Structure 1
Amino acid sequence: MGSSKIAKTNESSLRYLSVNTYGSVMGISGLSLAWRLSHHLFGTSSLISEWIGLMAIIIFAFLSISYMIKWVKFPQVVHSEFSNPIAGNFFGAITVGILLISSIILPYCRLLAQTVWILGTILTIIICYFLVSRYFMVKQDQLHAVPAMLIPVVAILNVPVTGVLMPFAWAHELNMFCFAVGSIAAFIFLTIIVSRLLHQEPMTTAMNPSLLILIAPFEVGFLAYVNLTGTIDMFASILFYFGLFLFTILFFKASNKSIPFSTTWWALSFPLAVLSNASLKYAAYVNSWPLKGIAAIILVLVTVVITVLFIRTMIHLISGKLLRG
């Protein structure tokens, strides 16, 4: 009887499992890829990237099983979450996780990585289409224009970031399509979001960690552009440096210790991880010690931030605070 009651309690607590928890997969996967670049640039151990990548895969599998159970047990809750003009954007985090995991797997099993990438790409385009198209169906509340609005378009920008090595004849044009959609949509949405942040009521304090998402289009765009063109030119430098500048403005506001901890804090992780990837790639190209120093500092910072977020998440999960209504 006791074990049955506990199982039922655990199942019911899954109704409070938020889709924004997938931000952890994005951040940890991005961190794994950053340490892979660090191995080539600084000669750090490849085991660091491998272990972090394995952790990302395990967490993704655990979250996916848990969220599928939630979908079966509480379909109306999942539908409500998807329909929410703010929370619904985080469904794009699921597909970003799939795309990044394909890059983690690629050196070890190309066929599996290609299969995962194709699945992630299809789901990314579908989710991006539905989440973006709904903005044109009904009148939107300008207060809903928050940084999370960028997640679906950042997701589609990740297709060329992760798919540049795919050998399919059609992959290049698909990557170009996704780059075009993601970059132009990101420009439009950034304009709307910044206008809302400057001229409307401020977001709730709990949403402040998501401010760092504003740097993601620039750094993901930098990685996608460099992958597609095969070089770092002036336009790529503009994307990288503006994202870095924006990071210096937003980081301390987004990571203020007074903000109560919740899964929304994971919104910090992926923008930091992608900034780390971009800075490592840029430093390797320029081969300048100041830029290598910046890349090393950012890598250490994102590693510390994600480690702290992971520990705090586990503490809240064990204590029962994480899945509480």
Structure 2
Amino acid sequence: MGTGIVSILLNTLPYNGIWLYWISVVIFAFNVLLFASFLLITAIRYLLFPDIFSVMITHPAQSLFLGTFPMGLATIINMICFVCVPAWGEWASYLAWGLWIADAVISVMTCFTLPFIIMTRKSEIMLSSMSAAWLLPIVSCVVAAASGSIVAETLPDPQYALGTIVASYVLWGVGVPLALMIMVIYLMRLMLHKLPPKEIMVSMFLPLGPLGQGSYGIQRLGGVANKIFPKTGTLSHGAGEVFEIIGFFIGLLLWAFGLLWLFFAVASILRTRKFPFNLGWWAFTFPLGVYATSTCQLGRELPSEFFRVVGTIFSVCVVLLWVLVTWMTAKGMYDQSLFVAPCLADLRERERRKREEMQVEDI
């Protein structure tokens, strides 16, 4: 997700150049390699050790990160639309469309099933233990909706584009309101139990994800609807313009709400100052990255030099953070300090209980 959003930002910067384009292409190719490699590793892991999947899917924290899979794939789909479709032609747009359909299905599955699994777990969850990671499976629908607006714009068939737009609005309607409800609970947790532990302090940036991507997605959907609705005779004359205006208005409000959470996140980091490095540091990149895309999109819609400059500043910050976190991650992989699987503790506990039961039966 973090690497993908960096390639998107460099490709779509308001102040761009051919050298930035080729850097974005290189990072895009690197991201595809990363995604394919870790997808293969994950598949092998669960094929060789199938018991791990059951304890992972019911783990209150680790299961939430399943939502990162469709979001990571969405960044690849977007770059296919930005880079491959202009270079390779029509077939690349249908490739992106097929991948997007799969991505949307996986996003819905994670958004619907993971919260329900949390509801039906036997052990209770305390409010004090809640983290912003609860947003991860839900934001997948918001990201898929934004990605659908990009894919719809590249499809040559207006009817296919219309179906993609409608499905994207449904995904946006599922993800954004639910994410806002989770954010209310998270704000209550912060008010009652104060800031999260230092180990997960970076998760304060996660609320920027649904707000930034929700803002970007609703703006893009409105713009594409204004192009596709007249071609397909959808609704009445001028309906597309109404969707575009409403999309910009909602996008601006979500962006403004994101300013509050950006302040909370930055202020929390400055107040804490020192906190240990872990994989949670990647929460610096994607949430702030999608907030940057929303800012740049506002600059295109108005048009506004202010939003373009601020969006560029956010984008540069994301790129620098990505370089830092990538270096720290590579270092942690080398000394094996990052390889931690919390769900394995549950698996060991399950195996211990089985051994005890077998010993009792033998007696």
Asked if residue 247 in structure 1 is aligned to residue 257 in structure 2, the reply is no
Instruction: Tell me: CA distance 1:179–1:324, structure 2 relative to 1, closer, same or farther (3 Å).
Output: closer
Deviations 1:227-285 (A, max 9, x none): 22223633321111221342133125348652111111112211011012111111222
Runs of 4+ in structure 1 over 6 Å off:
none
CA distance in 1, matches of 2:25, 2:298: 22
| Residue 192 of structure 1, aligned match among 168, 185, 208 | 185
CA distance in 2, matches of 1:207, 1:141: 17
Q: Is the 8 A contact 1:82 1:88 kept in 2?
A: yes
Instruction: Tell me: CA distance 1:147–1:324, structure 2 relative to 1, closer, same or farther (3 Å).
Output: closer
Q: Is the 8 A contact 1:147 1:210 kept in 2?
A: yes
Q: TM-score when scaled to structure 1? A: 0.85
Q: Is the 8 A contact 2:298 2:304 kept in 1?
A: no
CA RMSD of aligned residues (A): 2.0
| Residue 96 of structure 2, aligned match among 113, 117, 121 | 113
Unaligned runs of 5+ in 2: 85-91, 224-243, 342-363
SS of structure 2 residue aligned to 1:80: helix
Q: Is the 8 A contact 1:85 1:144 kept in 2?
A: no
Q: Tell me the residue number matched to 2:332.
A: 316
Tell which structure's C-alpha radius of gyration is larger.
2
Q: Is the 8 A contact 2:218 2:248 kept in 1?
A: no
Q: Return the letter of the residue paired with 1:300.
A: V
Deviations 1:268-306 (A, max 9, x none): 211011012111111222333333221221111000000
Q: Return the letter of the residue paired with 2:95.
A: L
Q: TM-score when scaled to structure 2? A: 0.77
CA distance in 1, matches of 2:128, 2:138: 19
Question: More displaced, 72-81 or 202-211?
Answer: 72-81
Higher relative contact order (CA 8 A, sep 6+): 1
| Residue 106 of structure 2, aligned match among 109, 113, 123 | 123
Q: Return the letter of the residue paired with 2:191.
A: L
Aligned pair count reads 298
CA distance in 1, matches of 2:25, 2:184: 38
Deviations 1:115-149 (A, max 9, x none): 21111111111111111222443554323431000
Q: Tell me the residue number matched to 2:253.
A: 238
Instruction: Tell me: CA distance 1:78–1:252, structure 2 relative to 1, closer, same or farther (3 Å).
Output: farther
Instruction: Tell me: CA distance 1:244–1:50, structure 2 relative to 1, closer, same or farther (3 Å).
Output: farther
Give the percent of matched residue pairs that are identical in Structure 1 and Structure 2: 19
Q: Is the 8 A contact 1:32 1:49 kept in 2?
A: yes
CA distance in 2, matches of 1:33, 1:128: 24
